[in-house]
Amino acid sequence: MEFSEREHKLIGYLLDYPDGLKMTQMEESLHASRRTIYREFTDLNDTLQNYEVVIKNLKHRYQLTGAPENLKKLRQAIKNDQDNLDLTVQQRQSAIAVRLLNGQEPEKMQTFAIDFHASIATISKDLNSLEEIFNDYQIKLLRQKARGIEIKGDEFDIRNLLVAIIDNEINPFEFFRNLANPQLFDPNVSSAQFFMSLIGMDVIEQSYRVIRLFQQTYFKQMSDAQLQRIIIVLAVMLKRMKVGRLIKKLPDFDRERILKDQRTTLDVFLKFDPAVKKIITSLEVNYFTLQMQGLQQATNEFQSLEDYDLKLSFLVKQFVNQVSSDFGWDFGTDRDLYNNLMLIFSNPIANDIAELDSEPVLTDIKVDRDDLNQIVQSNLSKFFNEAKLSDQQLKNVEVLFGNALELGIKTRSLSVLVICPNGIATAQILRNRLLRRIPEVNRVSVARTSALLDLDFDEFDLILSTIELPGFNEDYRIVSPLLLDEEIDSIRDYIQKHILRTPGNLKVTEDSITKPEDFDEYYRKVSAAKGILDNFQISVIDNQASTMAEILKQIVMKLEPEIVRDTNEVVGKLLHRIAIGAVGLPETNLALVHTTSRNIKHPFSSIYELKEPMKFPAMGGVNIELKRIVLLLGPATMTPVENDLMASISTLVISNKAKTEQFEQSKRDVLTKIIGSEFIQIINKGR
């Protein structure tokens, strides 16, 4: 958009009154102060020069002066501007960033002003905002009067930021709709199509055709959002390679692990034209493989207990507890430290093993890290094989502990979680921008989507994500990887509406430090949780003309002898529970039916869906149309953790409307992710 709404009105008034307007008339018409209107004049001057038109004050009347044909062009531009795609400030800045990152030659500020229908003053402000953000990503924005504006940086960093911006600005639904109907593609219709055009529909369609060949094999488990991202990665890669912008170096990575997926990359690349295959280097093969592995790690956004790395989790917790004991500070309660360490140890090939910022985030806190670093290194050699970690990763472990200590010393207020699939370094950049720009935020945790299962979301006042999170039931806000000024202002406004928490972190004595847990006990917890989750199913019950007693007998009979020893006794206890108090949930289609018995061998939970809904009494003396029975069975004697696990399922069912709706209508994979997330928190409680 070339002119702001007020500029539209101001120019429109001046065009409609060729003899000019008094300042008082403009103040009244625009509902703006004299100072604001003068500022508008200043901002407009550069843009109006493009039309060889100026604003003049003639006898205390302000008027537009210029040749008649130029005034006509300006009037037509005002009309056309109203018909153009209206980009938000964030979208315009993202588009400028993409143009600079993807450009082959320096660009003039005036070119941006014309192309994005904005004043030069506005473009200058945009560039000021982008310059700070580019610096965070180790990319330099250069402004040279003779040459114009360009960026300098490593190709790896440029591509990662380019992909992140484009992916963030496009909705998967629109992305695949445009690919399915290329004849309808028009970059002036929607912002998604506009951003697709910045990369080029030719390379996007080429990448889409190739990825689609493997959609039912290599990429079968990927969501639409992940497929979109891998297509964009490939499209950006093709476009950059075709103009000679090749990867010159990559971060350290595990060469043994990358070999497992190189075959997939080579199969993908073999589908390209000979001209493309000719320019592909081994570094490009490794680059795409790393990007693909990063996405595959997050294929299940909420990992199941099946994938929970018990041994590694236990070692990390033991490691943190030992460092806590040796140093005399309880790091064991710092969840973001644990999650970041898990990320480093479990994913040594992370697609951006960059150096983390070791400068104090809180400049008024001074901590001597030497003693802490020595203790960290000593315990690393005890618990982990240092040979598997690069020097940079070893340093990052030290930095994480040091940052955790500094953040823990200062009383903290607002707690924020940043979810980012681009790796720990990218998320740490967002983290540092939040801490630097928003004083109310004093604690920021970062996590990949694949680590969300291990988080307690009640710890956070605000959750930010750079991607959509399908099936994620917590409230969160989408932000761009750039975290633009407009977004920071929006976050500030949101924070003002919250009551800030001020939990202090005080140094503790050795007695209060979390004690290591016996591995066998930890294993039993995980086994109990996994057993319940493995047995969790959604089964359809043919209940035509059946009573509740007949339905329950039909269900329990199928559980004998693996779960139940005596069907009649268990059914009797279930009916007794229903008789003493309604178990239907008002305003839902659910009933929560549960009991314990010595004839139940193991904790068990499943959902049974009735073919024919039936009228059923609910709490509060009302009736519901019962569609699903949530069944909970437990032995007469259960361990504390088994009690907690079973209780957590019933709590989830009734905890809030969003989760209740999930139990009413979702499939097994969605519900097991939700339940599994809750189980992991119970397993780690007190560790």
- Between residues 127 and 342, which one has the greater pLDDT? 127
Residues 597, 599, 602, 607, CA torsion sign: negative
Q: Is 629 helix (H, G, I), strand (E, B) or coil?
A: strand
Q: How do residues 242-260 score in pLDDT, each as one tens digit?
A: 999 999 998 877 777 788 7
pLDDT class of 516 with cuts at 50, 70, 90: low
In the block, residue with structure tokens 């004690």 = 515
Query: What one-character-per-residue DSSP string does 112-133 give?
Result: HHHHTT--HHHHHHHHHHHHHH
Higher pLDDT, 313 or 461: 461
* pLDDT per position as a tens digit, 308-367: 455 566 678 778 888 888 887 778 767 678 777 877 776 554 434 445 555 444 334 445
Select from 199, 174, 173, 5 the least CA-distant residue to 89: 5
Q: What is the rounded CA–CA span in Å between residue 88 and residue 602?
A: 56
pTM for the model = 0.47
Domain positions in the chain? 5-80, 89-297, 305-496, 519-684
> For residue 75, which amino acid is it?
R
Q: 345 in helix, strand or coil?
A: helix
Share of the chain above pLDDT 70, in %: 83
Structure tokens at 385: 């094989």
How many CA atoms, within 13 angstroms, populate the side-chain half-sphere of residue 148? 12
Query: What pLDDT, on a 0 to 100 scale, did the predictor assign at position 507?
Result: 37
Look up the CATH superfamily of 519-684: Mannitol-specific EII; Chain A (3.40.930.10)
Q: Residue 174 pLDDT more than 70?
A: yes
Q: 219 or 520: whose pLDDT is higher?
A: 219
Domain 5-80 matches domain 519-684 at the CATH topology level: no
Domain 5-80: CATH class, spelled out: mainly alpha
Q: Are 87 and 169 in contact (CB under 8 A)?
A: no
In Å, how far are 208, 217, 228 from 211, measured between CA atoms? 5, 10, 10
What's the confidence (pLDDT) of residue 593?
92
- Asked if 425 and 154 count as a contact pair (C-beta separation under 8 A), the reply is no
* pLDDT at residue 625 is higher than 80: yes
Please state the rounded mean pLDDT for residues 372-401.
Answer: 79
What the block records as the tokens of 553 is: 């007998």
pLDDT one-digit tens code per residue, 465-499: 887 777 777 888 888 877 777 788 888 777 765 53
Helix axes 201-213, 172-180, angle to 10 degrees: 90
